[in-house]
């Protein structure tokens, strides 16, 4: 199974990547995790990546693909989370997959209305003691808990203004990838507002139908 997950922040890409990996044995390829691990390793590539991060610049597409390349040929398959984010990145990824003689099985677009995502993300609160994320409605922070005393705060990137800006960027840059992959018969759209298990099963069904 080789799946690319796309969708706006808050649609559950990280959660679904983890569940799909657990159910199928596929490897999760998270570009965010790769960047952090490469920097931590202090390799030559990691130092180069750190320079971009320190300057507040995006890591170039070819470097991201270079980091992912050793994982893209994994025989157990993979779930790609966080890349590509635009058509230029998709074409760079295509070239690398062609070199490796690897094909994508499905591109899954997790769909949810902007207002639902704003509500979901703006309701998050993070414990400054444990780092755990809660939600004021669905998973409220504990009261008078020795296990997690808090305080529980809203992160700067979870304000409504910040969330709406990220959604604008998604619609402008990433959402057009749906057409890019639909033309190749790879796209499946999944309602991400449903329960987590239901979303997972629909993704698995979609891959199974093509396999």
List 13, 19, 27, 106, catalytic entry: 13
> Computed from CA positions of residues 31, 37, 39, 42, in that sequence, does the dihedral angle turn out positive or negative?
negative
155 is catalytic: yes
pTM passes above 0.75:
yes
166 is catalytic: yes
The mean pLDDT value for 189-208 works out to: 90
Residue 72 tokens read as 């893209």
Q: Which one, of 111, 136, 77, 79, lies nearest residue 199 by Cα?
A: 111
Cβ burial 160-179 (10 Å sphere, 16+ → b, else e): eeebeeebeebeeebbebbe
* Rounded Cα–Cα distance for residues 187 and 203 (Å): 11
In a domain, 89, yes or no: yes
Longest CA pairwise span in the chain (Å): 56
Q: Is residue 160 part of a domain?
A: no
Q: Does 51 map to a domain?
A: yes
Q: Has residue 153 been placed in a domain?
A: no
Q: Is the pLDDT of residue 195 over 80?
A: yes
Assigned domain for 72 exists: yes
Q: Looking at residue 139, what DSSP letter applies?
A: B
The catalytic position among 18, 48, 50, 166 is 166
18 counts as catalytic: no
Q: Which of 47, 155, 165, 184 is catalytic?
A: 155
Query: Model confidence at 112, in pLDDT bands (50, 70, 90)?
Result: very high
In the chain, the number of structural domains is 1
Per-residue pLDDT reduced to its tens digit, 150-183: 889 988 778 888 889 989 999 999 999 999 999 9
Question: Residue 35's pLDDT is what?
Answer: 84
Tell which wins on pLDDT, 102 or 155.
102
pLDDT of residue 91: 94
pLDDT for 209 equals 45
Confidence bin at 67 (pLDDT 50/70/90): confident
Candidate list 2, 106, 124, 125, residue with the active-site label: 124
Q: Per the domain annotation, does 96 fall within a domain?
A: yes
pLDDT in the model for residue 32 = 80
Domain that holds residue 53: 2-113+174-210
**Cα–Cα distance measured from residue 44 to residue 41, given in angstroms and rounded to the nearest whole number:** 9
Residue 98 lies in a domain: yes
Residue 104 belongs to some domain of the structure: yes
CATH number of residue 107's parent domain = 3.40.50.300
Average pLDDT of the segment spanning 91-116: 94
Which one of the listed residues 2, 85, 120, 125 is annotated catalytic? 85
**Is 103's pLDDT higher than 90?**
yes
pLDDT computed for residue 200 by the predictor? 93
Per residue in 1-53, pLDDT (tens digit) is 899 999 998 898 988 999 999 999 999 998 888 888 888 898 888 898 888 87
pLDDT of residue 139: 84
pLDDT at 132 over 60: yes
Percent with pLDDT over 90 in the chain: 47
Is there a contact between 133 and 152 (Cβ–Cβ < 8 Å)? no
Active site (annotated) includes residue 165: no
Strand 2-6 relative to strand 78-81: parallel, antiparallel, unpaired? parallel
């Amino acid at each position: 199974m080789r799946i690319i997950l796309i969708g706006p922040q808050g649609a559950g890409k990280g959660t679904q990547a983890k569940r799909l990996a657990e159910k199928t044995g596929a490897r999760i390829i998270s570009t965010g995790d790769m960047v952090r691990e490469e920097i931590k390793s202090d390799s030559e590539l990691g130092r180069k990546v750190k320079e971009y991060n320190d300057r507040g610049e995006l890591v170039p597409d070819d470097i991201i693909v270079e980091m992912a390349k050793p994982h893209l040929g994994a025989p157990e398959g993979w779930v790609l989370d966080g890349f590509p984010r635009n058509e230029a990145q998709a074409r760079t990824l295509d070239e690398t997959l062609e070199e490796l003689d690897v094909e994508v099985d499905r591109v899954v677009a997790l769909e949810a209305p902007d207002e639902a995502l704003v509500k979901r993300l703006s309701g998050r609160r993070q414990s400054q003691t444990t780092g755990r994320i809660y939600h004021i409605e669905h998973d409220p922070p504990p009261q008078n808990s020795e296990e997690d005393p808090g305080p529980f705060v809203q992160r700067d990137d979870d304000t409504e203004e910040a969330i709406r800006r990220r959604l604008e960027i998604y619609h402008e840059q990433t959402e057009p990838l749906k057409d890019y992959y639909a033309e190749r018969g790879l796209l499946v759209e999944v309602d991400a507002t449903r329960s987590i298990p239901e979303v997972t099963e629909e993704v698995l069904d979609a891959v199974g139908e093509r396999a």
